[in-house]
Structure 1
């Protein structure tokens, strides 16, 4: 009987221990739940840039010298630049479901200056990135362009379209360039490159027509080449 009482006491202590551990675990899970909820309600630091990074081809994803990351300077520059877009152009763009280049020279010039662009276009006439080649290979170079589309369009689909349009050019980004000196004897210097691709988005409501509710998304894509 004493033995049975001892077993009951041990079982009772064990049960109390299990309940205590369970309560602690419940408190811990509750804490994690709140933390997770907070995280979900916080905008990602790499929102649209990361979205484009997911949309590009596997070949681009596998390029060790290419990363996708948001650029705060680009975002601010775009916000300021689109203030130059007239109300009529905003209204027109808000009804255009096709991704198109922004041709407003004032907008592009402002964005170029504020975002520190080398050129306000991604590609040259030969359809390659403007900083390709061996000119000024020892310097950081940044190019970019601005697009516009109806603000109601699914941005994941917009990123897919940009990826489809530019994958073949991203895939051909130069890994390096060799510069041969003109001296005697000549020497050669190899410059390896890293690239950062950034996407910024600004939504502007169309307000010139009070009978119409719509907006336009202005999308800036920049590519920055740095010497590794």
Structure 2
């Protein structure tokens, strides 16, 4: 009888230890054995900031975002890693791409809009390689961003928007039961456009 009690206590102790060990782990495992893990936030943030060409007209400073990372991990588990999936999970009012701005007397003095970018990174050897591949995509997007809405032909008195940008970026990965790792990146770029009048 004592042996049964001792065995029960040992089993209970082992269960408690295993539960505690799981508490500090940010990875998730879904029903089909796929393990979803967050990536090192510094790696993807540094890659997004460092990959931007100095010749770009604007520079976007990226930071990490815990809410976006959580949504990305949820989206991976739900197999909904796309624009609509992330947008619904964050509840954010975001667009697929930043629309063209035009400033007139009746336009608002300030326009703030956020663009969401979601990418699956294939064929990356590791987390650092995936981040560098994502950084190249970030640069392609940033190099198309405009500093303002002015044209060379604009004259004094013309209304225009001066634009500033900030961004967030996160990365997570999934490992299937065969050990194959897929990386996913989600990021936002927020444009703040302030209306001004050209003086020459």
TM-score bucket (shorter structure): 0.5 to 0.7
Which residue does 2:23 correspond to in 1?
Answer: none
Q: Take 1:194 and 1:72, find their aligned partners in 2: how far apart are those partners? A: 23
- Work out the number of aligned pairs and report it: 145
Select the residue among 100, 117, 134 that pairs with 2:102: 134
Which residue does 2:144 correspond to in 1?
Answer: 172
TM-score by length of 2: 0.57
Is the CA contact 1:47–1:70 (under 8 Å) kept in the aligned structure 2?
A: no
Which residue does 1:110 correspond to in 2?
Answer: 85
Per the alignment, do residues 193 and 205 of structure 1 end up closer, same or farther by CA in structure 2, a change over 3 Å counting? same
CA drift at 1:57: 1.4
CA drift at 1:200: 0.9
Bigger proportion of residues as strand: 2
Q: 2:188 matched to 1:222?
A: yes
Which residue does 2:72 correspond to in 1?
Answer: 78
Runs of 4+ in 1 over 6 A off after TM superposition: none
| Structure 2: tracts of 5 or more residues without a match | 1-38, 151-156, 195-200
Which residue does 2:174 correspond to in 1?
Answer: 204
| Secondary structure at 1:198 match in 2 | strand
Per the alignment, do residues 202 and 227 of structure 1 end up closer, same or farther by CA in structure 2, a change over 3 Å counting? same
TM-score by length of 1: 0.51
Q: Deviations over 1:112-169 (max 9, x none)?
A: 13161422x35xxxxxxx3333388733211122222358623333333334345344
| Secondary structure at 1:160 match in 2 | helix
Counterparts of 1:46-61 in structure 2, within 5 Å, are: 46-60=42-56
| Structure 1: tracts of 5 or more residues without a match | 1-42, 86-103, 123-129, 179-186
Q: Take 1:151 and 1:203, find their aligned partners in 2: how far apart are those partners? A: 12
Provide the alpha-carbon RMSD of the alignment.
Answer: 3.3
Higher relative contact order (CA 8 A, sep 6+): 2
Bigger proportion of residues as helix: 1
| Secondary structure at 2:191 match in 1 | strand
| Secondary structure at 1:58 match in 2 | coil
Which residue does 1:143 correspond to in 2?
Answer: 115
